Amino acid sequence: MPLLLLVAGSAAIAGAARRTPVPAPLLLVAVGLVVSYVPGIPDYTLDPEVVLPLLLPPLLYTSASDSSYLDLRAQLRPVALLSVGYVLFATFVVGWAVYLLVPGMPLTSAVVLGAVVAPPDAVAATAVARRVGLPSRITTILQGESLLNDATAITAYKVALAAAVGAGATWAGGVEEFLLAAVGGVGVGLILMAPLHGLRTHLKEPLLQNTLSLLIPFVAYGVAEQFHASGVLAVVVVALYLGHRAWEVDFATRLQEEAVWKMVAFILESAVFALIGLQLPIVLRGLGQYEGVAAAWYAVALFLVVVAARFAWVYPAAFLPRILSARIRGREANPTWRGAMVTSWAGMRGVVSLAIAFSIPVTVHGAPFPHRNLVLFLTFTTVIGTLVVQGLTLPPLIRRLRFPGRDPQAETLAEANAQAQASRAAEARLDELLSDDRNELPPPLADRLRMVLERRRNAVWERLGQTNPITGESVDDTYRRLSREMISAERAVFVRLRDHRYIDDEMLRTLLRRLDLEEAAAYREAG
């Protein structure tokens, strides 16, 4: 029952957020904070054994499969500098600052906290980028960073934790573990991606293909973790490959898969942000000696250190390589201070940081882990602070910086040229097929094929500035409206015939499915 309440409540709040100017993640966190103190609400403890293997893989998979492999490859250097370099930099800067700030905290515990709060969250970054419409290069860099940085942070956390519990961790051992986790995770992904794609393309039933699609992120994550490799990197590698080759899958599978993963991502993202807010009573319960002003001061100071550390890394990482390397200057676009500003400010933390923090052992060799409750509290306040402060101010910051907008005219022209080339190839193939007696069609049906092809070729060109002088509608809008009215009239007749028992419900579903596909095709042709 508590799980049902969490899913239903978070989905309802996320749906309501679409009618407000407040981003859904922030509203979910805020409501979670309030609801956590409502009498009778059960404790929703973030169990790392659930979050990391069960929630993280599908969220990474859906984000990575929607990303562009080619764009990520083009931005690999800045993505690597953020997902590896920045995470390690933030781990030690934050750890050293906390060590100096909190009396009596061991350096090893402080570095554990640094590793916990180092990675910006994949879900938060994607959700905000999707809403504010960042320039494509910045969006690619932020998405690439958020997809890969969890692997760096989890490995850094394991090394820091080993040092904190006296497991004999060394710098050389930490580097070795990091390389093994990274190389192993990528290796597992490379090994799995082709067989999984082959299985997807050979399954002929869309339901089976989509069932496999839901299992893939867990399979990749689980196999990698069995070999002590990075499950995060394995999921990302597999998802990027499958997303890049999605065109090879049957169209019915793609239609179903898109709907299924949109629903899964919506439910999981909503539940994750609600869970963040619901952690407040659990985090505060054992704070002990650090309650009150001292805890608030540590929280504010850590938030400022986290924000400052990102600026301290991003600006040099954006401009110094170009100054030092002529090859980079000739190969990559020139970064701007505006882009570096947005990248620096888009450092929201999320559920992965909290899940890692909750995995810190309660005791070490029979004694309490040093300052564990304070680490949990500071992780929580950093997550909330970055989500609220940076999440709320990022959209107006982007508007204030006035990034050059996309050029719809140029994009439509490129689309029209691509469609024209594809249509010529399709027309040549149709003529070739119809010249074979085995493919003979009555002239009306052959003309219909050509008419559909012509409509698809002309639809994009018609979007270049044409509007109805009376209604103000574009050609697209008019085409969609008329198609919808015609299909609605057919649909009403089918329902009336079913109600009068001229056809049964099974036939009605078949006919309605056909109309649904035609309506979807009409929207695709026009848009």
Within this chain, do residues 104 and 155 fall inside the same structural domain, yes or no? yes
Rounded-to-integer distance, Cα 55 and Cα 224, Å? 16
As given in the structure block, the two tokens for residue 113 are 């906290």
Expressed as residue numbers, the domain containing 453 is: 407-465
Give the number of domains in the chain.
Answer: 3
Within this chain, do residues 13 and 85 fall inside the same structural domain, yes or no? yes
Within this chain, do residues 352 and 412 fall inside the same structural domain, yes or no? no
Within this chain, do residues 298 and 435 fall inside the same structural domain, yes or no? no
- Domain boundary residue, one of 445, 465, 485: 465
Within this chain, do residues 64 and 43 fall inside the same structural domain, yes or no? yes
Within this chain, do residues 411 and 395 fall inside the same structural domain, yes or no? no
Q: Which pLDDT score is estimated for 415?
A: 65
State the amino acid at position 481 in one-letter form: R
- Domain boundary residue, one of 369, 401, 433: 401
Within this chain, do residues 324 and 442 fall inside the same structural domain, yes or no? no
CA angle 221, 222, 226 (to 5 degrees): 120
Rounded-to-integer distance, Cα 112 and Cα 376, Å? 11
Rounded-to-integer distance, Cα 373 and Cα 240, Å? 38
Rounded-to-integer distance, Cα 18 and Cα 8, Å? 16
Within this chain, do residues 359 and 477 fall inside the same structural domain, yes or no? no
Burial of 451 (0-12, 13-18, 19+ CB in 10 A): exposed
> Beta partners for 474?
467
What CATH number is attached to the domain comprising 240? 1.20.1530.20
Within this chain, do residues 390 and 328 fall inside the same structural domain, yes or no? yes
Within this chain, do residues 256 and 324 fall inside the same structural domain, yes or no? yes
Query: Quick one: angle between helices 56-65 and 251-278, nearest 10?
Result: 130
Predicted confidence pLDDT, tens digits, the chain (527 residues)? 677 888 888 889 988 888 887 778 888 888 888 888 888 787 777 777 788 888 889 988 998 888 888 888 888 899 999 999 999 999 999 999 999 998 888 898 999 999 999 998 856 666 666 666 677 788 888 888 888 888 888 888 888 888 877 655 566 666 787 888 889 999 999 999 999 999 988 887 888 988 999 999 999 999 999 998 999 999 999 999 998 888 888 777 888 888 899 899 889 888 888 888 888 887 877 666 666 788 889 999 999 999 999 999 999 999 998 888 888 877 877 888 888 999 999 888 888 888 888 888 877 777 778 888 889 899 989 999 998 898 888 888 888 887 765 666 666 676 667 767 777 787 788 788 878 778 777 888 777 778 777 776 666 666 665 666 676 666 667 777 777 788 888 888 888 888 888 887 777 887 888 777 777 776 655 44
Within this chain, do residues 110 and 238 fall inside the same structural domain, yes or no? yes
Q: Which pLDDT score is estimated for 217?
A: 96
Burial of 257 (0-12, 13-18, 19+ CB in 10 A): buried
Q: Which pLDDT score is estimated for 526?
A: 47
Q: Which pLDDT score is estimated for 466?
A: 62
Within this chain, do residues 375 and 505 fall inside the same structural domain, yes or no? no
CA 244 to chain CA centroid, Å, is 16
CB-based contact 261:254 (threshold 8 Å) = no
pTM of the model: 0.83
Q: Which pLDDT score is estimated for 304?
A: 96
- Domain boundary residue, one of 448, 465, 482: 465
Q: Which pLDDT score is estimated for 85?
A: 94
CB-based contact 164:112 (threshold 8 Å) = yes
